[in-house]
C-alpha cells in the first residue's frame, strides 16, 4: 500500500487558505493511484505531527505544498513528521533542485519519501503558463504579451527568489512570451513598478503563491495599482499606466497543480498507474467547460494569509 | 440456505485451505479442518465433527457467525488497524487489545450484536452520533452500513437534515460553526448540526470521522493499546523554532494558565494528557473529553507565543479612578468575553456589566480622546524618586 500526504501551511484565521490543498488532494484521490490520500497542515488538522499515524500504508509519499525550499521544507515539516535522520544536505539541492529523500518516521513503522516542494518542480513551469492561459482565456497566449512571475522574496531566505527566477528563466527559454520577468513583493525588482519592466501592452501577472490570501488578494493588487482598495475588486484586464494587466491570482489554485504533486511523488518512486493522464484529462475537461475560475481576479474574499516564518 | 450464507461458507472454506494451521477462531466461531472433516464450535454449540459435505448445512445453523466472520475478515480487513478497532467499537464488538484494557464496557457477542444491528447500534464520538446497522435488515447478510449525524439531531427527522453520502462533505461542515465563524480547532465543541450521512461503508465512516476530528481515532487506538506517545509542554516548547523559538521561556505557572484558558472541556473535546513535564503535572485537570490530546496543538502554541511575550514584561502599578460599580463592571466584561457570553447579553439588559450600552457608557466616561483608559503609572514615577 502507498499513501500520499499533501503537506501545507493552513491558517488559524482564514478558512480559504486550505482550499487548494483539499482541491488538489481530491483530484489525486479521484485517480485512485494511492490507497490513501491525506491533507496535513502546520496550522490546521491533521497537524504534520499526527498525520503519518493516520495511515495504514507502509510507503508514504510526503509532498510539501510550498513554493520554495526553506524554513518549512527544511526544518519544520521534517521535524514535525519526526524524520529523525533528516538533514537538508540529504536533498543535495542548490535551492531549486530537491527531489526526494527516503527516511523512517520514528513514531510509526513506516517509510517516508520526503519530496521537494511543488513550487520548484519543473512541471510548475507549465502550471504558470497554464495560469496565464486561464486568466486570458487564450490557450495560445504569448505573442504580444509580457509575463511577470511574482514571488514574495525575502532577505531571510534566498531560495524564495530562486524558485521564481528559475521558472521565469525556463519560460523565457521557450520564447513564447515577448518578455518574461521575475518580480517580488519584498525585494528588487518590485511588483509595484510592474509596468516599468515591460514594453508589451499586455502583461500577465502570475503570483507564485500556493493559496489566495492577504498577499495575492490585497497587497499585490493594490501595490500594482489595479485597485485603490482591494475590497472594491479589480478588472481583468485592468488598465495601469497604458498597459493592460491580466492579474491571475495565486498559481497554487490552478487545477493543474495536482499534476505537479503527482510528478513529485512519481519522482520519489510512487506507482502512479495512469493517474497523470487522468488528472490532465480532468483538468482539460474542467478548463474547457468551466470558466468560473476566470472571475477569481475580482473575488474580493480575502483574509489573513500565512505570515512568513509563522 | 440464503445466498449470503453460501458465500460466507465458501469464503470460510477457502480461508481454511489457505491457513497453515487449518483453524479459524473469530468472535466465538471456531472452525478447524482435520482431513476431510471439520470441527465446528460456537458459544452456543459444543465442538462437533462435521463431514466436508455437511459443512454448509452445519454452518447455516450458525449463519450469523459465518457472515460476521466474512464482514470483518473480508469487507473490513485491516487487522490491528485503528480503522478496524473503531468500527468494532461502533457495534460494541470486543476489540483485540494486544494486552491493553477493554474499550467497550459490556461488549456484545455475535447473537446479541446481530439482534442489535437490526435496529442499529448507536455510539457517540464527540459531537458525532454514529449508528451501525445491517444493510439488509430483513435478511442480514452480515454487511454493515453506518449513519452519522450531530448528537443534537438525534430526534430530528431525516427529511429536515442535509443528507449526504460523500465523506468529503464533512470538511465543509466542520469548517464553520452555527454562526458561520471559522473553526480553526476541529475538536472545539462548536460543530454545527442539521446534516446527516447515511449508508456509509466502514471505510467511508472512518474517513468522515477523520475529517470531523482528525487523528482522534488513531490516538484513541494508541491509548487503548497503551502506547499513546505524549509530548509534554517542555519537550514541545523546546522543539519550536522561528517565531515560536521563545516558547520555552514561558514561566512554569503561566503554562497552568494556558491550559486553563484553552484546554478545558468548554473549549475542546480532547482530554489533555500532556503536563508541564513528566512528573510535574499542571494544575487544571485534563478534562473529560473523549479523545486523548498528546501534545499542545498549534492553536495553543500560537496563543502561548503571545503569552510568552506578555509574560516577559515587568509588572507595574497603575492608578485609575473607578466607582465600585465600574470596577465590578470591568470584571464582568472580562468574564463575559472569556466565556463567550457577549452574544447572549440582551440589548436592554443594562443590569449586566457586559451589556453593550454599559460598555459604551464606560468608554465615553473613562476613555480619553485617544481611546485609552485614563491611567497613571505609579511605579515608574516611584522608581524615579
Domain ranges of chain B: 3-69, 79-225, 233-311, 318-384
Q: Are residues A129 and A246 in the same domain?
A: yes
Contact B186 A45 (CB under 8 A): yes
Per-residue pLDDT at A159: 87
> Which residues of B lie inside 8 Å of A (Cβ-Cβ)?
78, 81-83, 168, 171, 175-176, 182, 184-187, 210, 214-215, 217-219, 222, 229, 239, 241-243, 294-295, 297-299, 302
Per-residue pLDDT at A306: 42
**Contacts with B105 (C-beta within 8 Å, 6 or more apart), sequence order:** none
Q: Are residues A158 and A198 in the same domain?
A: yes
Residue in chain A nearest B293 by alpha carbon: A50
Distance from CA of B298 to the nearest CA of A (A): 6
Q: Is residue A76 part of a domain?
A: yes
Chain B residues in contact with A51 by the CB 8 A cut-off are: 215
Where residue B106 falls among pLDDT bands split at 50, 70, 90? confident
Residue in chain B nearest A30 by alpha carbon: B168
B17 contacts B38 by C-beta, under 8 angstroms: no
Q: Is residue A301 part of a domain?
A: no
Residue A308 has pLDDT above 50, yes or no: no
**Contacts with A196 (C-beta within 8 Å, 6 or more apart), sequence order:** none
Distance from CA of B104 to the nearest CA of A (A): 22
Chain B residues in contact with A107 by the CB 8 A cut-off are: 229
Digit-coded pLDDT (tens) for A27-84? 999 999 999 999 999 999 999 999 999 999 999 999 999 999 999 999 999 999 999 9
Instruction: Give me the architecture of the B79-225 domain, per CATH.
Output: 2-Layer Sandwich (3.30)
Residue in chain B nearest A10 by alpha carbon: B184
Residue B43 has pLDDT above 50, yes or no: yes
Residue A77: which CATH number? 3.40.50.1400
Residue A93 CA to residue B128 CA, distance in Å, equals: 46
Distance from CA of A5 to the nearest CA of B (A): 14
- CATH code given to domain B233-311: 3.30.70.2320
Task: Quote the domain boundaries for residue A196.
Answer: 122-253
Identify which of A13, A50, A76 has the shortest CB distance to residue B215: A50
Chain A residues in contact with B297 by the CB 8 A cut-off are: 45, 47
Q: Is residue A140 part of a domain?
A: yes
Q: Are residues A80 and A169 in the same domain?
A: no
Per-residue pLDDT at B380: 56
- What is chain A written as a DSSP string? -EEEEEEE---SS-GGGGHHHHHHHHHHHHHT-SSEEEEEESSSSSBHHHHGGG---SEEEEEE--SSSSIIIIIIHHHHTT-TT--GGGG--SSS---EEEEEETTTTEEEEEEPPGGGSTHHHHHHHHHHHHHHT-TTTTTTEEEEEEE---TT-HHHHHHHHHHHHHHHHTT-SSEEEEEESSSSSBGGGGGGG--SSEEEEEE--SS-SHIIIIIHHHHHTS-SSGGG---SSEEETTEEEEE---GGGSTTHHHHHHHHHHHTT---TTHHHHHHHHHHHHHHH--GGGGGGG-------PPTT-
Identify which of A43, A45, A71 has the shortest CB distance to residue B214: A45
Distance from CA of A261 to the nearest CA of B (A): 20
Say what angle helices B63-70 and B3-18 make with each other, to 10 degrees. 60
Identify the domain boundary among A230, A253, A276.
Answer: A253
Distance from CA of A36 to the nearest CA of B (A): 10
Q: Are residues A241 and A264 in the same domain?
A: no
The pLDDT of B24-33, averaged and rounded, is 94
Per-residue pLDDT at A298: 30
Mutate which of A27, A54, A58 to test chain B, going by most B C-beta atoms within 10 A?
A54
Q: Are residues A100 and A142 in the same domain?
A: no
Digit-coded pLDDT (tens) for A174-233? 999 999 999 999 899 999 999 999 999 999 999 999 999 889 999 999 999 999 999 999
Q: Are residues A114 and A136 in the same domain?
A: no
Chain A residues in contact with B187 by the CB 8 A cut-off are: 45
Q: Is residue A283 part of a domain?
A: yes
Contact B171 A13 (CB under 8 A): no
Q: Is A301 in the B-facing interface, judged by CB distances under 8 Å?
A: no
The pLDDT of A100-117, averaged and rounded, is 95
Q: Are residues A136 and A241 in the same domain?
A: yes
Task: Give the total number of structural domains in chain A.
Answer: 2
Chain B residues in contact with A84 by the CB 8 A cut-off are: none
Q: Are residues A10 and A57 in the same domain?
A: yes
pTM for the full predicted model = 0.92
Chain A residues in contact with B210 by the CB 8 A cut-off are: 46, 54
Distance from CA of B151 to the nearest CA of A (A): 22
Q: Are residues A99 and A179 in the same domain?
A: no
Q: Is residue A292 part of a domain?
A: no
Q: Are residues A239 and A263 in the same domain?
A: no
Q: Is A109 in the B-facing interface, judged by CB distances under 8 Å?
A: no
Contact A44 B176 (CB under 8 A): no
B103 contacts B45 by C-beta, under 8 angstroms: no
Q: What are phi and psi of B195, to 5 degrees?
A: -140, 165
Contact A46 B299 (CB under 8 A): no
Q: Is residue A23 part of a domain?
A: yes
Q: Is A309 in the B-facing interface, judged by CB distances under 8 Å?
A: yes
Identify which of B214, B229, B241 has the shortest CB distance to residue A46: B214
Q: Are residues A107 and A221 in the same domain?
A: no
Joined together, the cell numbers standing for residue B221 give 487506538
Q: Is residue A297 part of a domain?
A: no
Identify which of B168, B182, B218 has the shortest CB distance to residue A54: B218
The pLDDT of B9-31, averaged and rounded, is 89
Per-chain mean pLDDT for chain B: 93
Per-residue pLDDT at B385: 42
Chain B residues in contact with A53 by the CB 8 A cut-off are: 215, 218-219, 222
Digit-coded pLDDT (tens) for B199-226? 999 999 999 999 999 999 999 999 999 9
Chain B residues in contact with A76 by the CB 8 A cut-off are: 241-242
Q: Are residues A139 and A172 in the same domain?
A: yes
Q: Is residue A310 part of a domain?
A: no
Amino acid at each position: 500500500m502507498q499513501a500520499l500526504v499533501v503537506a501545507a501551511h493552513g491558517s488559524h484565521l482564514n478558512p480559504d487558505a486550505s482550499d487548494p490543498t483539499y482541491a488538489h488532494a481530491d483530484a489525486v484521490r479521484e485517480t485512485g493511484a494511492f490507497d490513501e490520500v491525506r491533507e496535513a497542515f502546520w496550522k490546521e488538522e491533521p497537524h504534520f505531527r499526527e498525520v503519518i499515524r493516520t495511515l495504514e500504508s507502509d510507503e508514504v509519499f510526503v509532498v510539501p505544498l510550498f513554493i520554495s525550499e526553506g524554513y518549512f521544507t527544511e526544518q519544520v515539516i521534517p521535524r514535525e513528521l519526526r524524520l529523525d535522520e533528516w538533514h537538508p544536505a540529504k536533498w543535495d539541492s542548490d535551492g531549486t533542485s530537491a527531489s526526494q529523500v527516503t527516511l523512517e518516521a520514528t513514531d510509526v513503522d513506516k517509510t517516508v519519501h520526503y519530496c521537494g516542494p511543488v513550487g520548484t518542480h519543473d512541471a510548475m513551469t507549465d502550471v504558470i503558463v497554464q495560469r496565464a492561459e486561464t486568466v486570458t482565456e487564450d490557450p495560445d497566449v504569448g505573442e504580444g504579451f509580457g509575463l511577470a512571475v511574482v514571488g514574495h522574496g525575502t532577505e531571510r531566505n534566498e531560495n524564495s527568489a530562486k524558485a521564481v527566477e528559475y521558472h521565469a528563466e525556463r519560460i523565457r527559454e521557450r520564447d513564447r512570451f515577448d518578455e518574461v520577468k521575475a518580480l517580488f513583493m519584498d525585494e528588487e525588482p518590485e511588483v509595484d513598478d510592474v509596468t516599468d519592466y515591460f514594453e508589451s501592452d499586455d502583461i500577465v501577472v502570475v503570483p507564485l503563491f500556493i493559496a489566495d490570501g492577504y498577499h495575492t488578494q490585497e497587497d499585490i493588487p493594490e501595490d500594482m495599482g489595479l485597485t485603490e482598495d482591494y475590497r472594491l475588486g479589480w478588472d481583468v484586464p485592468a488598465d495601469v499606466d497604458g498597459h493592460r494587466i491580466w492579474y491571475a491570482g495565486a498559481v497554487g489554485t490552478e487545477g493543474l497543480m495536482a499534476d505537479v504533486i503527482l510528478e513529485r511523488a512519481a519522482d520519489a518512486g510512487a506507482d502512479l498507474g495512469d493517474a497523470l493522464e487522468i488528472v490532465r484529462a480532468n483538468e482539460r475537461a474542467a478548463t474547457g467547460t468551466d470558466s468560473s475560475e476566470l472571475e477569481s481576479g475580482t473575488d474580493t474574499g480575502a483574509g489573513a494569509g500565512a505570515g512568513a516564518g509563522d | 440456505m440464503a445466498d449470503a450464507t453460501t458465500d460466507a461458507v465458501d469464503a470460510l472454506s477457502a480461508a481454511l485451505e489457505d491457513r497453515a494451521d487449518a483453524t479459524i477462531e473469530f468472535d466465538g466461531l471456531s472452525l478447524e479442518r482435520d482431513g476431510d472433516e471439520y470441527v465446528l464450535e460456537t458459544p452456543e454449540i459444543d465442538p462437533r465433527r462435521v463431514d466436508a459435505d455437511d459443512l454448509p448445512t452445519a454452518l447455516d445453523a450458525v449463519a450469523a457467525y459465518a457472515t460476521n466472520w466474512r464482514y470483518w475478515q473480508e469487507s473490513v480487513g485491516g487487522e490491528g488497524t485503528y480503522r478496524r478497532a473503531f468500527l468494532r467499537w461502533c457495534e460494541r464488538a470486543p476489540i483485540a487489545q494486544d494486552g491493553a484494557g477493554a474499550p467497550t464496557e459490556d461488549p456484545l457477542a455475535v447473537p446479541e450484536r446481530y439482534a442489535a444491528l437490526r435496529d442499529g447500534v448507536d455510539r457517540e464520538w464527540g459531537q458525532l452520533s454514529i449508528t451501525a446497522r445491517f444493510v439488509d435488515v430483513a435478511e442480514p447478510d452480515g454487511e454493515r452500513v453506518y449513519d452519522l449525524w450531530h448528537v443534537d439531531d438525534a430526534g430530528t427527522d431525516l427529511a429536515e437534515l442535509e443528507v449526504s453520502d460523500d465523506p468529503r462533505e464533512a470538511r465543509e461542515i466542520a469548517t464553520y460553526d452555527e454562526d458561520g465563524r471559522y473553526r480553526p480547532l476541529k475538536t472545539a465543541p462548536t460543530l454545527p448540526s442539521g446534516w446527516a450521512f447515511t449508508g456509509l461503508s466502514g471505510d467511508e465512516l472512518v474517513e468522515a470521522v477523520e475529517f470531523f476530528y482528525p487523528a482522534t481515532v488513531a490516538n484513541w487506538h494508541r491509548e487503548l493499546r497503551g502506547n499513546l506517545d505524549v509530548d509534554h509542554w517542555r519537550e514541545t516548547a523546546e522543539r519550536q523554532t522561528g517565531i515560536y523559538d521563545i516558547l520555552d521561556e514561558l514561566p512554569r505557572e503561566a503554562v497552568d494558565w494556558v491550559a486553563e484558558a484553552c484546554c478545558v472541556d468548554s473549549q475542546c473535546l480532547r482530554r489533555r494528557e500532556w503536563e508541564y513535564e513528566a512528573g510535574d503535572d499542571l494544575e487544571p485537570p485534563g478534562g473529560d473529553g473523549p479523545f486523548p490530546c498528546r501534545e499542545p496543538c498549534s492553536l495553543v502554541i500560537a496563543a502561548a507565543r503571545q503569552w510568552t511575550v506578555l509574560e516577559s514584561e515587568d509588572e507595574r502599578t497603575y492608578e485609575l479612578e473607578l466607582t465600585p460599580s465600574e470596577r465590578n463592571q470591568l470584571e464582568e466584561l472580562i468574564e463575559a468575553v472569556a466565556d463567550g457570553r457577549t452574544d447572549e447579553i440582551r440589548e436592554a439588559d443594562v443590569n449586566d456589566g457586559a451589556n453593550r450600552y454599559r460598555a459604551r457608557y464606560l468608554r465615553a466616561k473613562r476613555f480619553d480622546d485617544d481611546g485609552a483608559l485614563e491611567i497613571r503609572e505609579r511605579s515608574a514615577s516611584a522608581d524615579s524618586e
